[in-house]
Amino acid sequence: MLGTGSAFAKRYYNNNALLFSDGQTAMLDCGITAPMALHHLNKTFNDIHALVISHIHADHVGGMEEFAFQMKFVFKRSVPLFVPAPLIDPLWETTLKGGLMQEEFQSLDDYFDVRPLQEGLSCEILPGLAVRPIRTKHIAGKPSYSYLVNGTFFYSADMKFDADLLHTLVDEGCQVIFHDCQLKPPGAVHTTLDQLLSLPSALQERIWLMHYDDTMPHYEGKTGAMRFVEQHRVYSF
């Protein structure tokens, strides 16, 4: 995990992940703190072979301008950018265009090798690593996606509580769930710890909590059968 913090966390980097497969690395979300988090792991954007985006909030895409510029002018290669089709236009028009547009570069394709993802369809982004975008509820009127990885690992990114989805995923073979967790209610746009604690223990055992605020240490031992994802730790499933 590059970071495990909420949008406003200061003790933790933004909730972004690196996925390793077959000697290559994909980045899942690239927030404001991603360049510094990579640096602290002695990595650069040149170590990234694919980028996947969940939704347009700065803690998930705020590092993309630097990513784009570094690949264009420093490393001189175009990284595959896997992005759900409905996000492509707003990602450029509402977030990146202001910094990246210049006379000779007028679109996202001038910086990234854009690969549209279709909701519900699995796509191999690295050898041995396939992601399936699942549209989930986060902010009204704002497309946002969670990902099922290789059919067995669910990464919520940012989503409101959806117990039915979690039960369905497990029924269909999902083994591990990395879920965003708002420690204190109300969970206006996220899932709260209390909501996750309402799930049966057998389901909680598969859940790891991420996207938490700076008070996380106070909640150690108060999360039922669920565990906290730790920043900069590598998990193998």
Taking alpha carbons only, the member of 145, 155, 95, 89 closest to residue 119 is 145
Give the C-alpha distances (Å, rounded to integers) separating 138 from 33, 141, 230: 21, 9, 23
Q: Which of 189, 193, 207, 210 binds ligand LLZGTKA7 (CB under 6 A)?
A: 189
**C-beta of 44: minimal distance to Zn ion in Å?**
24
Residue at token pair 């200061």:
10
Q: Is residue 57 within the footprint of ligand LLZGTKA7 (CB under 6 A)?
A: yes
**C-beta of 94: minimal distance to ligand LLZGTKA7 in Å?**
15
List helix spans (H) across 158-230.
163-171, 193-197, 201-204
Q: Is residue 7 within the footprint of ligand LLZGTKA7 (CB under 6 A)?
A: yes
Residue at token pair 């902010």:
139
Q: Is residue 6 within the footprint of ligand LLZGTKA7 (CB under 6 A)?
A: yes
**C-beta of 45: minimal distance to Zn ion in Å?**
20
Q: Is residue 188 within the footprint of ligand LLZGTKA7 (CB under 6 A)?
A: yes
Q: Is residue 213 within the footprint of ligand LLZGTKA7 (CB under 6 A)?
A: no
Phi/psi zone of residue 33: left (φ > 0), alpha (ψ -120 to 50 degrees), beta?
A: alpha
Beta bridge partners of 134: 146
Taking alpha carbons only, the member of 184, 216, 210 closest to residue 60 is 210
* Part in contact with ligand LLZGTKA7 (CB under 6 A); list of ranges 119-127, 169-177, 187-195, 218-226: 187-195
Helix (H), strand (E) counts: the chain: 8, 12
d(CA 6, CA 182): 8
Omega cis (within 30) before 185:
no
Task: Please identify, using beta-carbon distances, which residue of 59 and 65 lies nearer to ligand LLZGTKA7.
Answer: 59
**C-beta of 229: minimal distance to Zn ion in Å?**
14
Q: Which does 2 bind (CB under 5 to 8 A by kind): ligand LLZGTKA7, Zn ion, none?
A: none
Q: Is residue 19 within the footprint of ligand LLZGTKA7 (CB under 6 A)?
A: no
Q: Is residue 158 within the footprint of Zn ion (CB under 5 A)?
A: yes
Write the binding mask 30 to 59 for Zn ion: x where contact by CB under 5 A, - elsewhere. ---------------------------x-x
**How many CB atoms sit inside 10 A of residue 101's CB?**
14
* Part in contact with Zn ion (CB under 5 A); list of ranges 94-102, 152-160, 167-175, 198-206: 152-160
Residues in contact with ligand LLZGTKA7 by CB under 6 A are 6-7, 57, 59, 139, 158, 188-190
